[in-house]
């Protein structure tokens, strides 16, 4: 499915407005007339990388003809550059797998690929990195919110969970985390100083026993503490949910009311939020009664 919104009726109207036949447009874009007919009738969708060529053929701005919501992710950057996955892979001298995995949020791009891919897409490395974060389910936060950066190392993940997972209650100390890890392991495998070193970034490697103990101590799935490439979509969704629920408890979610009629959140929106909280509450640390 194209990363931008596609409406076959809008395409037909734009084509007719330019007095082009389906064959004319097909020739300009490099496809067949039947392909254009299927796009316009809703039987099929064009590949995302074809949209810039379609807009150019019709002499219309890409954003007007095929709008999209929010900042771009990696797929949108590639498609807006008019490149297929194979062409993007060729630009970085690799197989299609690194590009595909990054777009799907499975494995982040090697540092060696960032600069050539940014050049191929016609953007800065900073824009590419931000788009990659969005492909991994990490969204920009409110102004001044540093929590939007991707927690990649074990220490960053510990800090993230401690900051966002214990709103309204005291987060465990380094000593408490070490004790819980050791209890889970059945022996001394981690000291408070080791936890501090992980959180400061001076240590990055730990054993599988320690990873499992950290997951138990912070009440998350052990996959969350695997290497960056091995964190599955459910774990990334959990991190985002932790931050979202923290925002609710801090009152940031009330900013949504300003978008409505002034009467606050709608009953439908509140129902959706309540459903989300209900689904996620068992994943979060227990909040003592009265908090």
3-state secondary structure of 172: coil
**Does the pLDDT at position 33 exceed 60?**
yes
Nearest to 256 by CA among 273, 240, 243: 273
* d(C-alpha 150, C-alpha 40), whole Å: 40
**Residues 85 and 47: beta-carbon distance below 8 Å:** no
Kindly state the tokens that stand for 207.
Answer: 């054993």
* d(C-alpha 169, C-alpha 260), whole Å: 32
- What number of residues does the chain have? 291
* d(C-alpha 51, C-alpha 38), whole Å: 15
**Residues 15 and 58: beta-carbon distance below 8 Å:** yes
Helix axes 174-185, 192-200, angle to 10 degrees: 120
Mean pLDDT (the chain) is 80
For the chain, which domains are there?
A: 8-65 (1.10.260.40), 74-132 (1.10.260.40), 137-291 (1.10.260.40)
Any idea what the Cα angle at residue 235 is, between residues 234 and 236, rounded to 5°? 90
For 105-130, what is the HEC assignment?
A: CCCCCCHHHHHHHHHHHCCCHHHHHH
In angstroms, the Cα distances linking 227 to 111, 133, 145, 151, 158 are: 16, 16, 25, 11, 13
Least confident span in 197-201, 230-234, 240-244: 230-234
pLDDT of residue 13: 96
**Residues 110 and 128: beta-carbon distance below 8 Å:** no
* d(C-alpha 166, C-alpha 234), whole Å: 20
* d(C-alpha 243, C-alpha 151), whole Å: 12
pLDDT of residue 41: 95
pLDDT of residue 69: 81
**Residue range 196-218: mean pLDDT, rounded:** 88
pLDDT digits (tens, 9 = 90+) for 57-77: 999 999 999 998 888 999 999
**Residues 32 and 26: beta-carbon distance below 8 Å:** yes
More confident residue, 36 or 156: 36
**Residue range 267-285: mean pLDDT, rounded:** 54
pLDDT of residue 144: 38
Given the structure tokens 């001394």, which residue do they identify?
Answer: 188
**Does the pLDDT at position 256 exceed 50?**
no
pLDDT digits (tens, 9 = 90+) for 132-181: 888 877 654 433 344 445 577 888 888 878 877 776 678 899 999 999 99
pLDDT of residue 276: 59
**Residue range 95-109: mean pLDDT, rounded:** 89
Kindly state the tokens that stand for 168.
Answer: 């309204």
């Amino acid at each position: 499915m194209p990363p931008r919104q596609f409406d076959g009726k809008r395409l037909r109207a734009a084509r007719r407005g330019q007095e082009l036949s389906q064959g004319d447009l097909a020739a300009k874009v490099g496809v067949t007339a039947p392909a254009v007919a299927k796009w316009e009738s809703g039987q099929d969708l064009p590949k995302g990388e074809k949209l810039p060529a379609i807009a150019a053929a019709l002499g219309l701005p890409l954003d007007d003809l095929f709008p999209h919501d929010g900042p771009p992710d990696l797929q949108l950057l590639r498609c807006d550059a008019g490149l297929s996955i194979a062409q993007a892979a060729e630009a970085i001298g690799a197989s299609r797998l690194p590009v595909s995995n990054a777009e799907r949020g499975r494995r982040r791009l090697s540092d060696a690929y960032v600069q050539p891919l940014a050049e191929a897409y016609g953007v800065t490395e900073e824009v590419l990195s931000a788009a990659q974060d969005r492909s991994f389910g990490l969204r920009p936060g409110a102004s001044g919110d540093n929590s939007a950066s991707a927690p990649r190392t074990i220490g960053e993940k510990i800090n993230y969970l401690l900051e966002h997972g214990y709103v309204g209650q005291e987060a465990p100390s380094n000593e408490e985390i070490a004790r819980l890890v050791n209890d889970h392991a059945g022996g001394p495998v981690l000291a408070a100083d080791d936890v501090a070193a992980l959180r400061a970034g001076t240590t990055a490697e730990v054993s599988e026993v320690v990873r499992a103990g950290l997951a138990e101590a912070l009440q998350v799935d052990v996959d969350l503490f695997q290497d960056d490439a091995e964190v599955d979509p459910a774990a990334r969704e959990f991190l985002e949910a932790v931050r979202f629920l923290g925002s609710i408890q801090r009152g940031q979610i009330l900013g949504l009311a300003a978008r409505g009629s002034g009467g606050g959140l709608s009953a439908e929106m509140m129902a959706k939020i309540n459903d989300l909280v209900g689904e996620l509450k068992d994943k979060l640390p227990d909040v003592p009664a009265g908090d």
